[in-house]
Amino acid sequence: MRAAGVDAGSAARIVDSPGRGRLVVWDTPGPVGAPTLVLLHGVTLDAELSWSAAIPALAAHFRVLTMDLRGHGNGPPARVPYRLEECADDVAAVVRALDTGPVIAVGYSMGGMVAQAFWRRHRELTAGLVLCASARNVSGSPLEQLTAMMMPFVVGGLTWVPSVFPLTADLVGSRLLGDGLDPEVRRRAMLHMRRTPLVTALAAMQAVCDFSSHRWIGDVDVPSAVLVTRLDRIVPPSRQWRLARGLPGAVVVEVDGDHDVFLEASGSFVRALVRACLAVVTSDDGSRGGTERAS
């Protein structure tokens, strides 16, 4: 991370949480009295790669907190097995330490699952949810079920192979990047992925395979929005729509893009993200639900 943080207007804040370790959060001020967002990235990624293009636009309306999830980038060390719930508890520790009051949890892909777990475990700290390119679960098809069954053996085996320890997340994270991505952007993305160990990335993928909110997502009682990436190869749009339909009164914002839309078409992604976040803030006026298409 740059010394100035994820964005030039961000300030690094250090939270030393007993039992959780050192948590680094980048705090970007917004208008006085603005709601607070917490931005949560996907597996193999980090906060700067995922959110730096969006923060200036979001900060026009919100206070913005960003952090690297456990085991990724500057996040605290990960444990095996990796637990999305532990990531959610890290977010809660930051929110309590900074005394922000309830926040809108904004998650991309795996980060969207962490945001769902954050609501379930810390409802008193959750003002809303914005779930991007995410799902209730990813273990429905026979192939997905087989992958979920095999992942514990893969991760467990790799933890006993010393030659694997220096390997990094770009070996699997590169699959998240589309073929049409600009070569220089791809190079930068791979450099960020190399900050996360391969074993951590695989353990986090196992946690994603194990996650399911389909039994309780209908209980969500805060305003929500789902940003659907319409050309997504990694999280099929049909899964994203099932998540949206499971959330009571969720606003849906669609954007034409693959799973790397925040890199490949960052302008469209940022416009869609701002729209989704503003929809959550204004949805208390009774106008919940609906679908929008970002241009």
- The confidence score (pLDDT) of residue 113 equals 98
Q: Rounded to whole angstroms, how far apart are CA atoms 87 and 64?
A: 18
Q: Which two tokens stand for residue 86?
A: 């532990």
Residue 123 has pLDDT above 90, yes or no: yes
Higher-confidence residue of 27 and 175: namely 27
- The confidence score (pLDDT) of residue 119 equals 98
Query: What domains can be seen in the chain, in order of their start residue?
Result: 11-138+212-293 (3.40.50.1820)
Helix (H) / strand (E) element for 39: namely strand 36-40
- What is the average pLDDT score of the chain? 87
Digit-coded pLDDT (tens) for 141-169 = 434 443 444 444 344 444 434 444 457 88
First to last CA, the chain: 31
Q: What's the per-residue H, E or C state across 107-155?
A: EECHHHHHHHHHHHHCHHHEEEEEEECCCCCCCCCHHHHHHHHHHHHHH
Digit-coded pLDDT (tens) for 10-23 = 788 999 888 888 99
CB atoms within 10 A of CB 102: 16
Question: 34-38, 49-53, 78-82, 206-210: which has the minimum mean pLDDT?
Answer: 78-82
Q: Which two tokens stand for residue 208?
A: 């994603």
- The confidence score (pLDDT) of residue 102 equals 98
- The confidence score (pLDDT) of residue 149 equals 41
Q: Residue range 216-235: average pLDDT?
A: 97
pLDDT tier, 140 (very low <50, low <70, confident <90, very high otherwise): low
Give the bridge partners for 131, in sequence order.
Answer: 107, 226
